[in-house]
Amino acid sequence: MRIINRHPSRGLYILLATLPFIALAVTYAIGSYQRLSINPADKILPSVTQMMAAMNELMFVQDKRTGSYLFWSDTAISLWRLGSGMGISIAIALILGVTSGFIPFVRALVKPFVEAFSLIPPITILPILFIMVGLDEASKITLIAVGTAPLMLRAVALGVEEIPREMIVKAQTLGASTWQMITRVVLPQILPKLIVATRFALIPAWIFLVSAEAIAAVSGLGYRIFLVRRFLSMDVIIPYVLWITLLAWLMDLTLAMLQRRLFPWFQPEQKS
């Protein structure tokens, strides 16, 4: 049989899926062990125990200068920035995406501008933001919004345009006004696609968050990573990177679950 027609069993699938993760962990462990056995003061590939010790400090010991637990306050502030930025871009995507996908006049007004705007590499706007809105929270949140909103807006507008014309005509033959079509036909059909768009947008959102924090911040996960880099503190950087990955994964998982729960009709198969 051709290889494309052969499927691994459930057990084999799990084995194959975990294999790369295990391989990476084992490779790291070996590398770390070798380097540390040559030079116990080596900082490049710290052992798990060293990482745990460093993280213990950040997680459970009060910082002398600020009086906070750095790991948790970093996480909180970063999540707040990410959430605010994404919140703004979701709102923009919904309002402008739906209206520009549905109403030709709004499309004429919005679409060419957004297309031009989305060509600007967002990170190049960062200095402009720093100059205009200052170095505080607003500039970081704006960067995330600017970086993700055009992407999401286009996804939503496209989703609206993809609603079969027949369905819109049908709604009109049932007497629906434009407002009624937006609220009862377009929005409900676009929400699952909005969740998909949000999942995609979270990837650049993290990039912009960490970049903004690395460049100008005094707190946050990205700030910490770039701060301790000066001391080659891999024992902090690696756990932080893993933590960010875990957070991103959990967000994606939550959104995927939300999509399945809230929009049962969006799934191809259906249990009644």
Partner 1 sequence: MTTVVLEKIWKEYGDQIVLENIDLTIESGSFVALVGPSGCGKTTLLKMLLGEERPTSGRILLDGMPLKPEPDWDRGVVFQRYSVFPHLTVLGNVLVGREFEKSRVLGRLFGINRAAAIDDARALLNAVGLSDHENKYPAALSGGMQQRLALAQALMRKPKVLLLDEPFGALDPGIRAEVHALMNELWVEQGITVVMVTHDLSEAFRLGTRVIALERRRNRPEEKERYGATIAHDIAVWPPKTQKKKQNGSALVEEAPPLIAADVSAAVH
Is the CB of 124 or the CB of 270 nearer to partner 1?
270
Q: Is 183 in the site for partner 1 (CB under 8 A)?
A: yes
Closest approach of Cβ 179 to partner 1, in Å? 7
Using rule CB under 8 A, residue 105 touches partner 1: no
Q: Of 226 and 266, which CB lies nearer to partner 1 in the complex structure?
A: 266
Cβ at position 52, least distance to partner 1 in Å: 49
Q: Please give the Cα distance from 171 to 177 (Å, whole number).
A: 9
Buried b (16+ CB within 10 A) or exposed e, 192-220: bbbbbbbbebbeebbbbbbbbbbbbbebb
* Start-end of H helices in 48-177: 48-60, 70-102, 104-117, 125-133, 137-162, 165-173
Amino acid, res. 95: I
Q: Which of 27, 66, 177, 245 binds partner 1 (CB under 8 A)?
A: 177
2 vs 165, which CB is nearer to partner 1?
Answer: 165
Q: Binding residue for partner 1 (CB under 8 A) from 37, 65, 173, 261?
A: 173
Selected binder of partner 1 within 70, 96, 149, 171 (CB under 8 A): 171
Of 31 and 188, which has the nearer Cβ to partner 1? 188
175 makes contact with partner 1 (CB under 8 A): yes
Q: Which stretch binds partner 1 (CB under 8 A): 50-58, 224-232, 235-243, 258-266?
A: 258-266
CB 135 within 8 A of CB 193: no
**Cα separation values, 30 from 35, 46, 109, Å:** 9, 11, 59
Tokens encoding 234: 């891999």
Q: Are 89 and 145 in contact (CB under 8 A)?
A: yes
174 contacts partner 1 (rule: CB under 8 A) = yes
The residues of the shown chain that bind partner 1, judged by CB under 8 A, are 164, 166-167, 169-177, 179-180, 183-185, 188-189, 263-270, 272
